[in-house]
């Protein structure tokens, strides 16, 4: 079979697929570009960092080419082929973009090759400034005709399933910062489906599977962003409704009431308190500031090599023993070293009874265990030490099973729309059990040192191996569930404030016009002195700003400010067109964009490909969608 025959066969096959989805020959390039953007964005949303780290490494480069940059290259090829076929009329904004990207490229290569030779980190900083290319790609590639009824059905099902994909025990799930956006996209797509019976079934499935609590629970940034977006959507939709002013006010009041009810019913109570109680936040900040001021002059930052990125590290391996607990358990070896192994084992037995009691209260319906084992455990613990060492270790293993039962219950609670108060009550007992386990590990270490019995030493070592996994798993689960006190949440705010303060002081004093070199690692003296985030800057040699807008200004000065100004201008245009066209879809998509831009005030959003690329793609597609509505003279898409 000749090469020409194979090529012709592939071309015909792809042509049939395009025809099935209503894509004619005139716009197949745009369809390919939009498909690539959608596919990669979906990969980012599901697999996040693991997917973003996929790369190719050329031998002549000292940095990898990541999948986001490969996508840019492919989209540029598609765009250039389209422009070759249909040359665009050059306008002022084309020239402005050209000079903007010349500036970004110059800063990137200056940081990489210039006198300071910051290395590959310069290109990571440049990514913040070239990711908006995806808005241009999305705007250029979008065509409404691509979204045939078949395409809408497939995309709707994919998005709905991804909202609760963990129910089928798979190892991925839509990242929290995009849950609200995926919900909006699914809603807009289902709304466009024509067959009513399937449309209503899809809506029912969507509203049954959507994790409402996750819209308000995962972090305070998500809480603030989603509430802001929800308020905008409510106000904008009510504004375009054809109703009397009194009716609109009543509907708006009703919406605000239910929104507040949802926030306090589904949101994390302690985190909401930390947002409201600004007095305590100010007090805690002043204390941290005083600590930093007293130490700053004598502080010598540790020399740490800056790295481009760290490959994904398992949380278990990265967690130190006391990463969550405020006070690590202390065991005084001097006071305890003379105790006999038998008496030390008695202490382990006594504390284990307390653990079992706590876990029994936690999980009345245990997983993979039998309540009948608990009385047996307590009886075995009172048996003579000399003959029951193995039985005792077996009971301690039972404790591990019970801990896993707790974790299973907590996961179920975190996935339901139950109140945060219940989760908090559960964690009171979990912390107690966790402390007991930590004490037992410390006691086992001492027991192993004190005994000369080979069999006992071997049994202790085997038990430790079994208990350490669920012990670290508890810490990991607590981290993932984001259960923390209001004081912890305020500490998180102070961590950010100290970073922002240090960054602004550096910027104003040293590089106010064009910002710092791309590649120059940012270190915050404030958080290092105060003891925040040592696992990040101590590992990477730099710390993220946790505010994308500050990152823009810090790296590019006035150009970064112009970036923000133009982003706001285009957002206002999107909102204005949505309202003028009375477009429900436009308002919903605008709300999704607003939510992400709000997250960017408090998190690392526009800097990371798995957030920035889907966001800018959505931004461009939304603008193109509204432009197409305007071109057709559509007065409304309310249906």
Quick one: three-class SS letters along 453-513? CHHHHHHHHHHHHHHHHHHHHHHHHHHHHCCCCHHHHHHHHHHHHHHHHHHHHHHHHHCCC
> Which SS3 state, helix, strand or coil, does residue 292 take?
helix
> How does strand 55-56 pair with strand 65-66?
antiparallel
Residues of the chain with CATH 1.20.900: 315-481
Total-model pTM: 0.74
The pLDDT, as a whole number, for residue 528 is 84
Tokens read off for 429:
């007992």
Query: For position 402, what pLDDT does the model report?
Result: 62
Q: What is the pLDDT of residue 455?
A: 63
Nearest to 578 by CA among 567, 565, 587: 587
DSSP state string for 186-226: HHHHHHT---HHHHHHHHHHHHHH--TTHHHHS-HHHHHHH
Rounded CA-CA distance 318/24 in Å is 52
C-alpha dist (Å) from residue 443 to 202, 247, 324: 56, 68, 20
* CA nearest neighbour of 470 among 448, 429, 432, 438: 438
Closest CA to 355 of 458, 266, 434: 434
Assign 366 to helix, strand or coil.
coil
Residue ranges in the chain whose pLDDT is less than 50: 166-172, 312-339, 359, 362-374, 376-378, 380-388, 416-423, 475-485
Answer yes or no: are the C-beta atoms of 45 and 182 closer than 8 Å: yes
DSSP helix/strand/coil, 15 = helix
Distance of CA 149 to the CA centre of its chain: 32
Q: Are 352 and 399 in contact (CB under 8 A)?
A: yes
Closest CA to 551 of 564, 541, 538, 569: 564
Class of domain 315-481: mainly alpha
CA–CA separation, 20 and 417 (whole Å): 41
| Both structure tokens of 12 | 């015909």
Please report where in the chains the tokens 């019995």 appear, as a residue. 453
């Amino acid at each position: 079979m000749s090469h020409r025959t194979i090529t012709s066969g592939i071309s015909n096959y792809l042509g049939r697929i395009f025809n099935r989805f209503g894509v004619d020959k005139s716009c197949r390039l745009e369809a390919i570009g939009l498909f690539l953007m959608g596919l990669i964005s979906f990969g980012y949303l599901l697999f996040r960092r693991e997917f973003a780290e996929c790369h190719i490494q050329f031998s002549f480069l000292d940095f990898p080419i990541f999948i986001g940059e490969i996508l840019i290259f492919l989209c540029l090829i598609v765009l250039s082929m389209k422009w070759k076929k249909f040359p665009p009329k050059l306008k002022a904004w084309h020239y402005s973009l050209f000079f903007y990207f010349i500036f970004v490229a110059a800063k990137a290569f200056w940081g990489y090759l210039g006198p300071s030779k910051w290395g590959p980190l310069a290109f990571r900083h440049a990514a913040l400034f070239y990711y908006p290319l995806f808005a241009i790609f999305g705007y250029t590639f979008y065509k409404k005709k691509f979204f045939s009824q078949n395409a809408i059905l497939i995309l709707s099902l994919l998005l709905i399933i991804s909202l609760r994909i963990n129910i089928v025990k798979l190892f991925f799930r839509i990242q929290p910062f995009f849950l609200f956006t995926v919900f909006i996209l699914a809603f807009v797509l289902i709304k466009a489906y024509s067959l009513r019976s399937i449309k209503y079934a899809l809506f029912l499935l969507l509203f049954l599977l959507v994790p409402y609590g996750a819209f308000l629970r995962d972090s305070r940034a998500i809480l603030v962003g989603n509430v802001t977006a929800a308020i905008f959507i409510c106000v904008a939709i009510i504004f375009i409704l054809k109703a009397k002013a009194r009716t609109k006010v009543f509907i708006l009041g009703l919406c605000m009431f239910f929104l507040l009810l949802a926030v306090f019913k589904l949101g994390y109570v302690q985190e909401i308190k930390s947002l409201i109680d600004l007095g305590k936040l100010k007090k805690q900040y002043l204390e941290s500031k005083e600590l930093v001021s007293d130490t700053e002059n004598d502080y010598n930052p540790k020399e740490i090599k800056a790295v481009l990125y760290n490959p994904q590290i398992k949380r278990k391996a990265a967690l130190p023993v006391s990463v969550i607990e405020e006070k690590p358990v202390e065991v005084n070896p001097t006071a305890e070293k003379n105790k006999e192994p038998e008496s030390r084992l008695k202490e382990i037995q006594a504390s284990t009874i307390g653990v079992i009691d706590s876990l029994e209260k936690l999980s009345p319906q245990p997983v993979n265990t039998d309540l009948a084992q608990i009385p047996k455990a307590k009886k075995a613990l009172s048996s003579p030490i000399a003959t029951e060492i193995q039985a005792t270790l077996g009971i301690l293993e039972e404790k591990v099973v019970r801990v896993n039962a707790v974790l299973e219950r907590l996961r179920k609670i975190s996935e339901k729309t139950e109140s945060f108060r219940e989760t908090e009550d559960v964690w009171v007992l979990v912390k107690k059990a966790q402390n007991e386990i930590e004490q037992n590990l410390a006691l086992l270490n001492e027991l192993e040192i004190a005994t000369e019995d080979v069999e006992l030493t071997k049994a202790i070592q085997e038990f430790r191996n079994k208990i350490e996994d669920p012990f670290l798993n508890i810490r990991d689960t607590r981290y993932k569930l984001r259960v923390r006190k209001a004081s912890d949440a305020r500490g998180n705010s102070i961590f950010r404030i100290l970073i922002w303060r240090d960054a602004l002081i550096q910027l104003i004093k040293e590089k106010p016009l064009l910002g710092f070199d791309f590649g120059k690692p940012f270190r915050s003296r404030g958080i290092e002195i105060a003891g925040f985030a040592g696992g990040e800057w101590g590992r990477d040699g730099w710390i993220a700003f946790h505010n994308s807008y500050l990152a823009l200004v810090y790296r590019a000065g006035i150009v970064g400010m112009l970036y923000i100004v133009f982003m706001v201008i285009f957002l206002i245009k999107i909102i204005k067109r949505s309202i003028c066209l009375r477009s429900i879809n436009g308002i919903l998509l605008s709300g999704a964009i607003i939510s992400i831009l709000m997250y960017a005030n408090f998190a690392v959003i526009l800097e990371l490909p798995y957030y920035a690329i889907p966001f800018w793609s959505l931004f461009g597609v939304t603008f193109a969608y509204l432009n197409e509505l305007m071109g057709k003279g559509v007065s409304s898409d309310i249906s």
